[in-house]
Amino acid sequence: YIPYRKRDSKRNRDSEMHGYFAGHGYACLRVDLRGSGGSDGILKDEYLQQELDDGVEVLRWIASQPWCSGKVGMIGISWGGFNGLQIAARRPPELGAVVSVCSTDDRYADDVHYMGGCLLGDNLSWASIMFERNANPPDPQIVGDRWRQMWRDRLESSGLWLNTWLRHQHRDAYWKHGSICEDFDAVQCPIMAVSGWADGYSNAVFRLLKGLNVPRRGLIGPWSHRYPHDGIPGPAIGFLQECMRWWDQWLKDKDRGVDDDPMLRVWMQDSVPPTTSYDTRPGRWIAEDTWPSSRIEQHVFPLAMARIAGRNEDVSEMPITVQSPLRLGLFAGKWCSYSAPPDLPSDQREEDGGALVFDSGPLTEPVEILGAPEVDLMLTSNKPVAMVAVRLTDIAPDHRATRVTYGILNLTHRDGHEYPEPLEPGKKYRVTVPMNGVAHSFPSGHRIRVALSTSYWPLAWTPPEVTRLTVFTGASQLRLPVRPPSVDDESLRTFPEPEVAPAGEETMIAPSDAQWKVIRDLAVDESTLMVVKDLGTVRIEDIDLELTKRSTEKYTICNDDPSSARGETNWEAIFKRGDWKTRTLTKTVLTSDGSSFYVDADLDAYDGERRFFCKSWHEVIPRELV
């Protein structure tokens, strides 16, 4: 149940999955959201009440068909994983089970828009993707001669979603809507929650297992934002077979042993050298019967001058300052990895020179963690609005630095995201910065590093002023969720190899291209991250459609000037069948100064070679402690 165009853009991906389920005795339906693909209406935002009401109505219709038993399951990744959870919270009696992949229960604190109260660069990137998608025409083969009027209605009325998202900078009612963490008990059907360590949504799996009161299972592999049967980095697994066990158990009342499965299975990642893409992450499957697990031990380490002290070491309180270059973060990778183009974090030595670094001594034995590491910091700021980024890094004996996990916090949100408060310069505050949950094995001989910085561009938008933090050793500490080895892991059921149904035939007409470049102009001290994603031109043979899509993203900043921060995204999409051809161009530019964000956007649409529609936006949005 998605807005991504079931007929063309997601046709082959979904046919592999839904064809597989159909081959095992399930009727499978794919639905374009109202206002997308071949559906009527206008799509004006994510997860609106109309979308959820429509979803409940679709379930009711399916259950009433003679080929349906009355029990329906929902599966989806990303948007389709989100609304599966949200519709489950509506308690439609027809919904028997959900498989939610790469999704969240918390639309403010753990989605593509904000993280730790900081504005994410992916907010602009994602808004630009939907700007392009919403400008695509319906297919005349489906809607007939109405297609032009439907297309014009969408172009005129869908709107600039980035404007809306930037006008809700705190956790208000807008974000609470659709966040099932507001009332976990509203969900009454079984939930399988799935993600990957390179995905942006792995934290939700832990929260769903803890918060829900229904049969539930969690699965986290090494994957990025993809289904696990197509998981990159590998190893991919036979995920569709796992889904079949889930559907049979809850939709057909067949005992498939689901009740005997551990609540949580995750991939314990081995240490690897840093690189921006991996074909496979070495490691092993581990499991916990419950989450939170009583087996996880919290180990606390004081932070001393330039080092992580021993667990019981007495460390004196001393001030140490950090004022990072605004460009720090160019090697952080993407907030949510799609593994194309190579978007994982590079060697962290590129970043550590501008950060406050604390290293452990060489480990005398392996240390394995499962869960969310945290740092408690005693600090002061010289400005009323500031952020801190925290990285946990695996340092090999040859000094290569692989980022294990990270967290960011807008320090005005230190007491919550709903009612932030400015900092009083010079005043001491104790803050906790949680990092993303992870499973990682630090080998003996390696060191653990904590790095603190005042910028993480462009993963997070820069604060309105250059800031300096003073951190106090002794009073600051690292907390690691250490998991002792378990012999039970050796007897876990082995996942089968991936199986899928045949996909439709596609012909590559023009090749794809992917680039991820960091550019430094030393003459003006300007740093740029350039991302190119050219999907080439593909002919979908089943519907005789040629589809071309390409995008560029460019994030630029000058080292000591926050008002120089600039993000620009451009998309082009072409649909062609015989004499029918449409082309859309979208451009979005986000800039800021100390008081406001500025959004400039352009939309151009062509029917053949004739310009069919154009519109421009210029929005000024006050900054609210961001």
pLDDT in tens, 254-263: 999 999 999 9
Phi and psi, residue 583, nearest 5°: -145, 130
User: Over the stretch 83-105, which tens digit does the pLDDT of each residue have?
Assistant: 999 999 999 999 999 999 999 99
Percent of the chain clearing pLDDT 70 (strictly above): 100
Residue 410 DSSP symbol: E
Q: What 3-state DSSP class applies to 13?
A: helix
Phi, psi at 126, each rounded to 5°: -70, -40
For residue 421, CA distances in Å to 376, 379, 386, 626 come to 19, 16, 11, 11
Q: What is the average pLDDT across 484-506? A: 95
At residue 626, the pLDDT reads 98
Contact, 190 vs 325, CB < 8 A?
Answer: no
- Tens digits of residue pLDDT in 259-298: 999 999 999 999 999 999 999 999 999 999 999 999 999 9
Reported confidence tier of residue 559, pLDDT bands at 50, 70, 90: confident
Residue pair 307/323 in contact (Cβ under 8 Å)? The answer is: no
Instruction: Compute how many other C-beta atoms are within 10 angstroms of the C-beta atom of residue 57.
Output: 11
Cβ within 8 Å of residue 370, ≥6 positions away: 266, 268, 286, 288, 293, 296, 437, 438, 439, 481, 483
> Would you state the torsion angle of the CA atoms of residues 91, 92, 93, 97, taken in this order, to the nearest 10 degrees?
-80
C-alpha 61/C-alpha 55 separation (Å) is 10
- Per the listing, tokens 């609106």 go with 48
Is residue 487 scored above 90 in pLDDT? yes
What does pLDDT average to over the chain? Answer: 97
- Pairing relation of β-strands 513-521 and 526-540? antiparallel
Q: Estimate the share of the chain in helix, then strand, then coil, as percent rounded to the nearest 5.
A: 20, 35, 45
Which tens digit of pLDDT belongs to each residue from 399-413?
999 999 999 999 999
Q: Give pLDDT, residue 246.
A: 98
Judge whether residue 180 has pLDDT over 90.
yes
Contact 333, 404 (CB under 8 A): no
What is the arithmetic mean of pLDDT over 54-72?
A: 98
Q: Give the model's pLDDT for residue 340.
A: 64
Q: In this structure, which amino acid lies at residue 394?
A: D
Q: Span 169-198, mean pLDDT? A: 98
Residue 76 above 80 pLDDT? Answer: yes
Asked if residue 204 has pLDDT above 90, the reply is yes
> What is the reported pLDDT for 293?
97
State the Cα–Cα distance between residues 203 and 289, nearest whole angstrom: 18
Alpha-carbon dihedral sign for residues 134, 139, 143, 147: positive
Is the confidence at residue 339, as pLDDT, over 80? no
pLDDT of residue 570: 98
How far is it, in rounded angstroms, from Cα 349 to Cα 354? 10
